[in-house]
Amino acid sequence: MNASFKSALAIRWVSWILLLMAGSPLAAQTTHEVTVGDNFFSPSSLTIQVGDTVRWTNAAGGNNHNVTDNGGSFASQTSSSFTFSQTFNSAGTINYRCTIHAGSMTGTITVQGAAPQPADLSLQSVDASAGTYAPGDSISINISIQNVGGEASAAASITYYASTNSTINGSDTELGTDAIGALAAGASNNFTANATFPNNIADGTYFIGAIININDDNNGNNTRADNGTIAIESAPPDPVVDLAVQTINAPSGTFEQGEDLSIGVTTRNFGDMASDSYTVNLYASTNTTINGADTLIGSANRSALAAGAQASFNVEVLLPETLPPDNYFIGGVIDIDDANNSNNTGLDNVPITVETSGGGDDFPINEGLNDAWYNPLTPGQGFFITVFPEIQSMFIAWFTFDTTRPAAEIEAILGEPGHRWLTAFGPYTGDSARLNVELTEGGLFDSAQPQVSQSGDGIIEVDFIGCNEGIIHFEDIGSSNIDGDIPIERIALDNVPFCEELTAAQ
């Protein structure tokens, strides 16, 4: 292969490459060559497009020349050898010259077309997932953004809003912000955003919209709202129990230590669901602040109270023999932790006066009486008695039978059809205790369901004559106005010495 052939082949390859570049999109902005000769420009007249570049090369071979715009917008160096380029971004006619040879060395460039438009991000669409939402929920939003300008955009951000109308602005409820990267001219960015409703957003109907946070060529297309709407509905609050002591009514006047009182109590469930069974504790206090540090004088176990329901009942209490003479306010506290503990306490605003007792039996109730007691004339029935000296209270479990025998054909699954049992609890003083009887109903053997309920069912008074002798007086048992007395003694005498030892020590 000779040198001429190689040269011709190289020229042909260069021609092909130039033809390919001229036909490709990359050739849209072109560089035009102008030769700077001795006293001439070649070509001296040139037509180009907006965005094209003209490059002048001085090849005069030793003579100094320059390229200078008649309007002063550009000028090259003056030299015997240089290359100078200028890009033209505006349409028009530019006349230029060599200032050394201005009379003979001139040129003209005609620039055609329009300058490329600057970047312009446009929010093309906002499409939020329709539905009903609660405060704090998230929502999916399909976003479409396009750069409709002629230049690449800068990076920006987009903020999402909930508005009560279709006009979206910065005063609406903000749901979140995302960053968006730079976009080339004509490019689009389509994505799904996840926004979150604030916890304090009000219930209602909302338009979901967005704003592109950028100051570009046209801010009017930076905002858009979904044509549809969504709904915000707060979840209803969970049902609660709210038991309150509404009234405490104690008899007015002066009373002695050890005297019994009947206290009227009214409770109410202000909640929207039924309560469990509950206890009301009654106290005597030297001030109007009632709490567990005051003197406990009685208690009442109450069955469940329906939502909105009210219960009024009397509680029989005993003023302790050890209660110092003074003026006392009688108050009640519901022993429960519910939706509003501030109303669990109530009080009678009129105090009673307590004076020293005129006397009483010498035998003191003590924990040596804890035992199984019965009446020998009624075997198979009896009482378990437990004394709590630290709170000066007594508990009794009474095992007995109904007043009328069940029909012969009635059979019990467990035990005997006529079996009954009652419980009683309350304070004691000296040798006597006055206790509220509770009737327990609704349970099932060895099962937590159905729940047990308890209700007041009379009064028991217990008087002890000694460590192995006492008498139980009962009133209104079984809600049948049954009154009576039962003499009691221990089933076994094992604990008598302990009782006598405690009695001697007091």
Domains of the chain, earliest start first: 27-112 (2.60.40.420), 121-232 (2.60.40.10), 243-355 (2.60.40.10), 367-505 (2.40.128)
Is pLDDT of 23 > 70? no
**Residue type for position 200:** N
Collapsing DSSP states into helix, strand and coil, what is residue 272? Answer: coil
Confirm if 320 and 429 have CB atoms less than 8 A apart.
yes
Q: Are 196 and 176 in contact (CB under 8 A)?
A: yes
Dihedral sign, CA of 250, 251, 253, 256? Answer: negative
Condensed to tens digits (0 to 9), the pLDDT of residues 283-325 reads 999 999 999 899 999 999 999 999 999 999 999 998 988 889 9
Distance, CA of 207 to CA of 229 (rounded, Å): 5
Which residue has 């955003």 as its token pair?
Answer: 193
Percent of the chain, pLDDT > 70?
Answer: 92
Q: What six digits make up the tokens of 495?
A: 């604990």
**Average per-residue pLDDT in the chain?**
88
* Interval 407-428 mean pLDDT: 86
Is pLDDT larger for residue 327 or for residue 6?
327
| pLDDT, tens digit, 9 for 90 and up, residues 96-138 | 999 998 888 999 999 998 766 789 999 999 999 999 999 999 9
Among 500, 440, 449, smallest CA distance to 302 is for 440
CB of 336 closer than 8 Å to CB of 344: yes
Residue with tokens 């729940």: 451
Question: What is the DSSP track for 464-477?
Answer: EEETTEEEEEEEEE
CB 403 within 8 A of CB 480: yes
Per-residue pLDDT of 33-88, as tens digits, reads 999 988 889 999 999 998 899 999 997 667 889 999 998 999 999 988 899 999 99
- Planar angle of CA 456, 348, 461, nearest 5 degrees: 35
pTM score of the predicted model: 0.41
Distance CA 77, CA 65 (A): 8
Coil, helix or strand at residue 286: coil
For 100-117, the three-class secondary structure string (H helix, E strand, C coil) is: HHCCCCEEEEEEECCCCC
What is the model's pLDDT at position 479? Answer: 62
CA–CA separation, 321 and 362 (whole Å): 12
